[in-house]
Amino acid sequence: MSALPALLAVLVSVSPPPTGEAATPWPAERMARPFAGSIQTQQLRTPRFLIVYTPAARGPAEYLAQRIEGIRDEVAATIGRDWPGVTELRLGFGREEYEALALTGGAPPSWAVALAYPDRNIVLVEAHSLIQGDGQVTLRHELVHVGLGQLGKGWPRWFQEGLAQELTGERRYRMEQYTTLARAVAIDRVFRFQDLTSGFPSRPEDVEIAYAQSAAFVQFLKERYGHAAFGTLIDRVRSGDVFETAFGVAFRSPLSVEEKAFRDELPARYPWWPLLVSGGTALWGLMSLLVVVAYLKRRHQKAARRAELLRVEHVEELARTVAARAAAPDNDERSLEEWLLPPTAPWDATSVTGLRVGTGETEAEPQGEAVGKPS
Amino acid at 282: A
Q: What is the mean pLDDT of residues 143-160?
A: 95
Instruction: Name the percent of the chain lying above pLDDT 90.
Output: 45
Q: Is the pLDDT reported for residue 292 higher than 60?
A: no
320 pLDDT tier (thresholds 50, 70, 90):
confident
8 pLDDT tier (thresholds 50, 70, 90):
very low
Instruction: Name the percent of the chain lying above pLDDT 70.
Output: 64
Which region among 22-26, 118-122, 205-209 has the lowest average model confidence (pLDDT)? 22-26
pLDDT one-digit tens code per residue, 238-281: 999 999 999 999 999 999 999 999 999 999 888 877 666 555 44
Q: What is the pLDDT of residue 259?
A: 96
Q: What is the mean pLDDT of residues 290-311?
A: 64
Q: Is the pLDDT reported for residue 141 higher than 60?
A: yes
Q: Would you give the DSSP letter of residue 279?
A: S
Q: What is the pLDDT of residue 211?
A: 93
Mode of pairing for the β-strands spanning 87-92 and 49-53: parallel
Q: What is the pLDDT of residue 351?
A: 40
Q: What is the pLDDT of residue 119?
A: 93
Q: Which helix (H) or strand (E) holds 9?
A: helix 4-14
The overall average pLDDT reported for the chain is 77
**Alpha carbons within 13 A on the beta-carbon side of 106:** 18
- Rounded Cα gap, residues 122 and 106, in angstroms: 11
Please tell me the pTM assigned to this model.
0.64
Taking Cα atoms as reference points, which of 192, 190, 200 lies closest to residue 160? Answer: 200
- Helix runs in 239-275, H state only: 243-251, 255-269
Query: What is the secondary structure of 355-368 as a DSSP string?
Result: EEE--SPPPPPPSS
Q: What is the pLDDT of residue 17?
A: 35
Q: What is the mean pLDDT of residues 344-366?
A: 43
Q: What is the pLDDT of residue 308?
A: 72
Mode of pairing for the β-strands spanning 122-126 and 87-92: parallel
Q: Is the pLDDT reported for residue 342 higher than 60?
A: no
pLDDT one-digit tens code per residue, 187-228: 889 999 999 999 999 888 899 999 999 999 999 999 999 989
Q: What is the pLDDT of residue 298?
A: 60
pLDDT one-digit tens code per residue, 59-101: 999 999 999 999 999 999 888 899 999 999 999 999 999 999 9
Q: What is the pLDDT of residue 39?
A: 82
121 pLDDT tier (thresholds 50, 70, 90):
very high
Q: Would you give the DSSP letter of residue 191?
A: P
Q: What is the pLDDT of residue 161?
A: 93
In this structure, what are the phi and psi dihedrals at residue 51, rounded to the nearest 5 degrees? -100, 115
Contact, 54 vs 39, CB < 8 A? yes
